[in-house]
Amino acid sequence: MELILTPEEQKFRDEVRAFLTANVPAEVKEKTMTGYRLSKEEHVSWQKTLYEKGWMAPSWPVEHGGTTWTPMQKHIFQEECAAAGAPPVVAFGVVMVAPVIMKFGTQKQKDYFLPRILRSDDWWCQGYSEPGSGSDLASLRTKAVLNGDHYIVNGQKTWTTMAQYANMMFCLTRTDDSGKRQEGITFLLIDMDQPGVTVQPITTIDGSQEINNVFLEDVKVPVENRVGEEGKGWTYAKYLLGHERTSIAAVGRSKAQLARLRDIAKVEQQDGRPLIEDEAFQKKLAEIEIDLLALESLVLRVLSDESAGKGPGPEASFLKIRGTEVQQGITELLVEAIGNYAHPYVPEAMQTGWNEDPIGPEYAASIAPHYFNWRKASIYGGSNEIQKNIIAKAVLGL
Amino acid sequence: MSFAFNDDQKLLAESADRFIQDDYAFETRRKIMAMDGGFSREVWSQFAELGWLALPIPEAHGGLGGSTVDTAVLMECLGRGLVLEPYLATVVLGAGAVAEAGNEAQKNAILAGVAEGATMLAFAHVEPKARFNLNHVETSAAKDGSGYVLNGAKAVVHNAETADTLVVSARTAGKATDADGVTLFLVDRAAAGVELRSYPTIDGLRASEVALKGVKVGADTVLGEVGAAMPVIETVADRASVLLCAEAAGAMDSAVKLTVEYMKTRVQFGRPIGEFQVLQHRAVEMLGAKEFSRALTYRAAGVIDGANPRVRSRAVSAAKVEMGRAGKKIGQEGVQLHGGMGMTDDMAVGHYFKRLTMIDMMFGNTDHHMRRFARLA
């Protein structure tokens, strides 16, 4: 089901498409489509290309360097980027911390950090989860003690995605544990390039290392790097969570992956016919495509509410649940599609510069690792169980 | 038909479970995975001493003549510990094919060696374009004097690099997917023209792409009748499938236990997460999935020895479908209920998840066996 576009929207789509065709490097496109790991330089280089075009932060207000795009235009842009194999913009800066700084930060913080985020001068990571505080985030214990014009921070953060690349962390810390747990949390912006910050990689079940433990030992954070008021960090964190939803749904990416799945199912042969002609497989493809269409429809509604000035409501939690279910469903079908070649584990094949012959079809190497890796999606960003708790409480009043 | 273990089976399960518990801890397994060939020769010798390698081998050839159910009992225990040693490749597939189709000389030459732990085998049947169609054999065996010359490629052959002998299927007549015209050969792994490209699998095992480039073999290497190997291959694959389901039953058992243990100890919102009813129900679903899969697996294992091919294949397909669905549920939910910890390489649950996923992809996935079950109705 195609979106019905106005002539203006078609023109916009063509402009975006032409830009992407001309600017996404072939190797980067290939890596993005197959799910191979991009280097930090590849991410940053692409984001700088977007910045120069003025498209780094379409959702930001114009005064900070955003666009005046309609929700439909933003959606078209996301979809075209995914279809063209453009690397997804790393969300921690532009999508996550920036809206918090805009809404609750000081003028000085806005003037300093926002342009740096736009230019990808800083790489941000998210200091939320702790070993004892996952779904129950408000129980976090990383301590920040005010000492003159600095906070001294001690504790451990975990599951910190791409912390190995980051020089800045937005971090939830505990400044008070006397009252309600949610009331003693403070939102700090921490410079990672200082003594006392140790990043230790965690190997995940697919063998990759993109998440980390981050140890904070007597880390100094100037008071001017506190966002908003002391003890109000939980409110800001919740505000941020609302902003994450439409991007976490990853509709464009799922569409591109679904197209890839179809291509592979046309090549894979089953009993002398392409797999895509198998009825059971067709049914599964259709189910997931319909799930994705419904997801896209809800994303468009939420975007349109947002542009009408309404913040995303709790129903946006559905976007995370359905979005990750669709993503995981596609990775599952990809594994089915490649049959016996799901077995080989050749991580070198996913590295830049590996030029040996593939084992089995060349598209196979990343598929099973990706399936296992993508189980994270229903766990991170507030597990899908937590999303349901939020809906039960905030929407249904249960 | 008995649904209870007999005394021998109980003893076997006890000793195998004790071995896994005492000698095959998760960290030990990790070390073994890094060894040459991906398994421990020492552990393999222990298997021989314990009589496990002899278990399904006929008594006339140095074995214990155990039934498929007996072997399933052992495989279930091996599954609990995610054992890496090539029991399936050597004992179930390789020796299974020799016992099924070999002549006296071949059985004498190979089976006692397998039972003692001296001989290792691999089953080189599946081909790159075959997917799950067992009939799909493009590898050719052309007559060459009194012997044959083999040319072709075999895909994802588990434990080929450490095998002494490969059981290779090749076409002596017919087109690529004909049921007739396939012949089995015993091929020395070190023979000229046998080229291996070996790699780890995502579930921690070892496998190889095997290229056969003008491999010359004598007439005495033909296993069974020329051109009539498909019934043998089907029998061996069916038995291996049901034994994989038994391995999966053990893996599911461990994955459920680990998850429940985690739920009892992981505290969030001031209490163990196992106290949340919504999670309790999910753990219950996992347990149920395992119980149904295990029950059907043992039923199939009890049916297949000597059964006619339709009854056998239908029983195996049913077990494989149930296992595929249960394995997916238990693997995915096991990780989910562990939260972020479940995603880490340090926790065992993810390794069970990977093995269960890959067992589904061996000898036909859930969809494949669903189709076969329906077709054989």
pLDDT tens readout for residues A159-195: 999 999 999 999 999 999 998 999 999 999 999 999 9
Q: Which residues of A touch B329 (CB under 8 A)?
A: none
How far is the C-alpha of A113 from the C-alpha of A135, rounded, in Å? 29
Among B287, B319, B138, B289, CA closest to B211: B138
pLDDT of residue A186: 98
In this prediction, residue A14 has a pLDDT band, given cuts at 50, 70 and 90, of very high
Q: Which residues of B touch A375 (CB under 8 A)?
A: 332, 335-336, 342-343, 353
In this prediction, residue A126 has a pLDDT band, given cuts at 50, 70 and 90, of very high
The minimum CA-CA distance between B227 and chain A, rounded to whole Å, is 21
Residue A224, pLDDT > 80, answer yes
In this prediction, residue B1 has a pLDDT band, given cuts at 50, 70 and 90, of low
Instruction: Name the residue in chain A with its Cα closest to that of B324.
Output: A336
Of A360, A369, A376, the CB nearest to B128: A360
Q: Which residues of B touch A206 (CB under 8 A)?
A: 202
Q: What is the pLDDT of residues A297-306, one digit of tens each?
A: 998 888 788 7
**B336, A272: Cβ pair inside 8 Å?**
no
Residue B164, pLDDT > 90, answer yes
Judged by DSSP in three states, A155 sits in strand
Residue among A336, A379, A383 with most chain B CBs within 10 A, to mutate? A379
State mean pLDDT over A264-285.
Answer: 95
Q: What is the pLDDT of residues A100-120, one digit of tens each?
A: 999 999 999 999 999 999 999
**A342, B279: Cβ pair inside 8 Å?**
no
Judged by DSSP in three states, A214 sits in strand
pLDDT of residue A350: 83
Of B131, B203, B267, the CB nearest to A270: B131
**A134, B155: Cβ pair inside 8 Å?**
no
Q: Which two tokens stand for residue A28?
A: 């980067």
The minimum CA-CA distance between A140 and chain B, rounded to whole Å, is 11
**B345, A204: Cβ pair inside 8 Å?**
yes
Give the rounded percent of residues in chain A with a pLDDT score beyond 90: 83
Instruction: Quote the mean pLDDT of chain B.
Output: 97
Of B201, B273, B340, the CB nearest to A129: B340
Q: Which residues of A touch B342 (CB under 8 A)?
A: 205, 375, 379
Instruction: Name the residue in chain A with its Cα closest to that of B136.
Output: A271
Q: Which residues of A touch B267 (CB under 8 A)?
A: 132
How far is the C-alpha of A331 from the C-alpha of A254, rounded, in Å? 10
Q: What is the pLDDT of residues B289-315, one digit of tens each?
A: 999 999 999 999 999 998 999 999 999
pLDDT of residue A303: 79
CA-atom Rg of chain A in angstroms: 22
How far is the C-alpha of A168 from the C-alpha of A45, rounded, in Å? 18
The minimum CA-CA distance between A123 and chain B, rounded to whole Å, is 23
In this prediction, residue A382 has a pLDDT band, given cuts at 50, 70 and 90, of confident
Q: In the A/B pair of chains, how many CB contacts fall below 8 A?
A: 131
